[in-house]
Structure 1
């Protein structure tokens, strides 16, 4: 009986070992959360697929599911990383962009163009699926090539977008300046017209004085000649 009791007690883990196991698991979880935050912060922010680390073919439900998983994992309330709030906002924007039909279509159009260009560079038909054996052993991989070229095109697209905004602002500034000048001109004309009206009596009086003086001079001259 003593042996049986001893065996039973030895098979039961000590409380301090259980505590250590919990601490190690907690530290591992905290480390993984920080790694995920760093991954998001280093991700290419113009490509929501990259931020969510999900395939371009993902469905709307798959995107929402992946977002929920990551957002709960790196939530600032659970993650001690100093930049967890920033990573959380980046993740939220990525999910929002992919949930916006128009934005996702624009993004997919750029990525499809990148896929086409990568396949052309590999001398393969543009209709070649990603599951094709010819794309399996590439170095760098097809996925990496696609992400790299997509990044290049998305950067170019962002530059064009910002340039257009800058030009629009410049044009709006010129238009605003033109309207401001027109308003100033109208204001000056109104002030000049008002001043002209205010001085009307004075001008009329001056003219009458001038006319009367001339009449007197002419009359006096005629009298001398007679």
Structure 2
């Protein structure tokens, strides 16, 4: 009795091309970079919109050159062409707006004035209160570490929101006043038109009134009776 050997099935093996360590590192770096870009987009979107320093993530003491350099770095890093994040265009626009506001001397001065006021108010809350001229290098402030910056940002946020509320109320009030003025002007125009129409009607009916008066006068003359003298 002959024993048959089991037939071996031919199997095909898919070979994965080998990847070098350098290529692997490059791939991982690319993935990490894409992830960091998306994180930066998220940070910008979550930043406090009324504070351009928050959006650019830069210190209030930055020079105009440092602000422009920071903007260029971030705008290139999260550019919509390089970042697949769906909200990258929105983050890019926020960056542009923040850089524009900080490049405007008057707008930056107004913002810095609010920040300075917030700092003074915080210094007054110390026990004993610290003078407005207290530098960040003061031991009392250095002891707080990063907490001092957190406190400053929170106070600035509170004050900027108050400023924005007042600004919007003023705009609303101006619009209401403009509406009132517009209504007054409309009423004046309506009155002038009505007066002009009345004057025109008066002129157009002048002949009719004259004829009516003549008819009335002639009628009175006809009704006059001759006075008889008795005697």
Q: Conserved in 2, the CA contact under 8 Å of 1:135 and 1:141?
A: no
Q: CA deviation at 1:125?
A: 2.2
Q: CA RMSD in A?
A: 1.7
1:11-55 deviation line (CA, Å, top 9, x unaligned): xxx635443322221111111111111111111111111111111
Report the equivalent of 2:179. Answer: 173
1:99-145 deviation line (CA, Å, top 9, x unaligned): 00000100000000001111111232221111222212327711000
Find 1:24's aligned residue among 24, 28, 31. 28
Query: Residues 210 and 19 from structure 1, CA distance in 2 versus in 1: closer, same or farther, beyond 3 angstroms?
Result: same
Q: Tell me, what secondary structure is at the counterpart of 2:29?
A: helix
| CA–CA separation in structure 2 for the residues paired with 1:177 and 1:65 | 51
> Structure 1: where are the runs of 5+ without partners?
1-13
| CA–CA separation in structure 1 for the residues paired with 2:51 and 2:131 | 25
Q: Conserved in 2, the CA contact under 8 Å of 1:43 and 1:50?
A: yes
Query: Residues 224 and 109 from structure 1, CA distance in 2 versus in 1: closer, same or farther, beyond 3 angstroms?
Result: same
Q: Does 1:186 align with 2:192?
A: yes
| CA–CA separation in structure 2 for the residues paired with 1:94 and 1:61 | 14
1:69-120 deviation line (CA, Å, top 9, x unaligned): 0010011111111111111111111110100000010000000000111111
Of the structure 1 ranges 15-24 and 180-189, higher mean CA displacement relative to structure 2 is found in 15-24
| CA–CA separation in structure 1 for the residues paired with 2:146 and 2:25 | 40
| CA–CA separation in structure 1 for the residues paired with 2:78 and 2:39 | 10
Which of the pair has more CA radius of gyration?
2
Query: Residues 203 and 109 from structure 1, CA distance in 2 versus in 1: closer, same or farther, beyond 3 angstroms?
Result: same
Q: Does 1:39 align with 2:34?
A: no
Q: Does 1:81 align with 2:108?
A: no
Q: CA deviation at 1:165?
A: 0.8
Report the equivalent of 2:6. Answer: none
